[in-house]
């Protein structure tokens, strides 16, 4: 049975996003909240039986402005406080939360503590805000311990009563409170009258290997979504991008692509010249099944990387992480096709 011990320490990391904003009722505009006042304005947090500390980005940002430098900053804060805290809650805008949290899942190797991303659709100061529940339950989950060990030992994302494995999520709605989905992996925890933890879905750092933070990411990566009518010159301009090292190709359905000679030869040539191309499905759920249809046979033959059921967000982050880790060209495909943090089947 998971419980919260009074000595448990949770670190709140505030990066920005709607959650930390208040509405100026005179002008109707949203403005950044004084984060130091956050704990005071949510007295419910003090009822949780744990100690909550906080750090904030000097300049909180809308998550549309997130980049790899910010990812390194978040990872570094976690590294700095890893020994002193039992769990981490990252407050982040919802727009790119799946990207940042997927990246963090790769950057934090042998993670043995919870890193829970959360945010909200309405600012914390709004009457009908979803921020309070998201924040309070995230802290509660980050503080959960079983036999004196953190219950969650991975990067997760909590939104609207569900905790998901972060690198399985996608933002699917800009209007409803249920903004995220994880179509290829079930929730880790559901919050109702009780917190229902699905232990069988959790990742665990069983061998207690040493925690390590990867801070080198190589963003010479691209993304191309196939669509009927794709023009050869658009394909070529992408494939000929200077310094491009890897490309996520969003294919149709179970990994299918047109059989046009210009497309097949363009991709084949690029792979021969050293570009890593990953096929992911542009469907929200399901998996690439290379060779199931004639329209993916050619891709399979040219040794395109099989992204299986990975999300686009996670594929991009995994590429930046692997390119930054100097993985050899020979083993790149095999390593990409291996689940490193539960991000694919």
Give the active site residues. 18
Three-state DSSP class for residue 195:
strand
- Closest Cα partner for 221 from 319, 321, 134? 319
Which region among 33-41, 57-65, 265-273, 335-343 touches ligand ASP (by CB under 6 A)? Answer: 57-65
CA-CA distances (angstroms) from residue 207 to 111, 211, 338?
A: 11, 11, 19
Q: Which is nearer to ligand ASP, 92 or 333 (CB)?
A: 92
CB 327 within 8 Å of CB 338: no
Both tokens of residue 299? 């891709």
Distance between CA atoms of residues 160 and 143, nearest Å: 18
Task: State CA 182 to chain mean position distance.
Answer: 11
Which region among 31-39, 89-97, 194-202, 297-305 touches ligand ASP (by CB under 6 A)? Answer: 89-97
Q: How far is the CB of 96 from ligand ASP (least distance, A)?
A: 6
Residues 9-48 that bind ligand ASP (CB under 6 A): 17-18
Both tokens of residue 234? 């658009």
Distance between CA atoms of residues 246 and 49, nearest Å: 46
123 near ligand ASP, judged by CB under 6 A = no
Q: Which residue is nearest to ligand ASP, using beta carbons?
A: 93
Which region among 61-69, 128-136, 222-230, 315-323 touches ligand ASP (by CB under 6 A)? Answer: 61-69
Out of 87, 93, 187, 222, the only residue in the binding site for ligand ASP (CB under 6 A) is 93
CB 151 within 8 Å of CB 201: no
- Closest Cα partner for 191 from 177, 207, 174? 177
95 near ligand ASP, judged by CB under 6 A = yes
Q: How far is the CB of 174 from ligand ASP (least distance, A)?
A: 8
Q: Which is nearer to ligand ASP, 18 or 101 (CB)?
A: 18
119 near ligand ASP, judged by CB under 6 A = yes
Out of 8, 56, 68, 94, the only residue in the binding site for ligand ASP (CB under 6 A) is 94
Q: Which is nearer to ligand ASP, 17 or 324 (CB)?
A: 17
Distance between CA atoms of residues 167 and 315, nearest Å: 9
User: Which residue has tokens 């390194």?
Assistant: 72
Phi and psi of 333, rounded to 5°? -60, -45
Out of 64, 173, 236, 345, the only residue in the binding site for ligand ASP (CB under 6 A) is 64
Q: How far is the CB of 72 from ligand ASP (least distance, A)?
A: 19
Binding residues for ligand ASP, rule: CB under 6 A, are 17-18, 62-64, 93-95, 119, 121
């Amino acid at each position: 049975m998971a419980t919260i011990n009074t000595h448990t320490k949770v670190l709140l990391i505030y990066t920005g996003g709607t959650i930390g904003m208040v509405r100026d009722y005179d002008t109707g505009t949203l403005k950044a909240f004084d984060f130091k006042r956050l704990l005071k304005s949510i007295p419910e947090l003090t009822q949780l039986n744990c100690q909550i500390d906080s750090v904030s980005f000097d300049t909180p940002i809308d998550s549309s402005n997130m980049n790899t430098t910010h990812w390194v900053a978040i990872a570094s804060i976690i590294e700095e406080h890893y020994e002193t805290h039992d769990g981490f809650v990252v407050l982040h805008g919802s727009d790119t939360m799946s990207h940042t949290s997927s990246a963090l899942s790769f950057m934090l190797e042998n993670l043995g503590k919870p890193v829970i991303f959360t945010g909200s659709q309405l600012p914390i100061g709004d009457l009908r805000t979803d921020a309070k529940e998201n924040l309070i339950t995230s802290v509660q989950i980050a503080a959960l311990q079983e036999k004196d060990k953190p219950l969650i030992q991975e990067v997760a994302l909590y939104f609207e009563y569900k905790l998901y494995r972060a690198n399985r999520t996608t933002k699917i709605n800009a209007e409803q409170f249920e903004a995220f989905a994880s179509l290829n992996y079930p929730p880790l925890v559901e919050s109702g009258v009780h917190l229902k933890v699905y232990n069988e879905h959790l990742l665990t750092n069983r061998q207690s290997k040493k925690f390590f933070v990867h801070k080198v990411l190589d963003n010479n990566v691209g993304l191309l979504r196939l669509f009927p009518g794709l023009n050869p010159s658009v394909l070529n301009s992408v494939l000929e991008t200077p310094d491009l090292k890897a490309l996520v190709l969003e294919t149709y359905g179970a990994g299918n692509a047109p059989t046009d000679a210009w497309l097949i030869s363009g991709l084949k040539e690029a792979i021969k010249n050293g570009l890593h191309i990953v096929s992911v499905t542009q469907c929200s759920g399901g998996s690439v099944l290379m060779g199931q249809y004639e329209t993916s046979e050619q891709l399979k033959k040219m040794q395109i990387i099989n992204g299986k059921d990975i999300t686009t967000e996670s594929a991009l982050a995994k590429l930046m992480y692997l390119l930054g880790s100097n993985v050899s060209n020979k083993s790149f495909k095999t390593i990409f096709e291996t689940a490193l943090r539960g991000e694919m089947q």
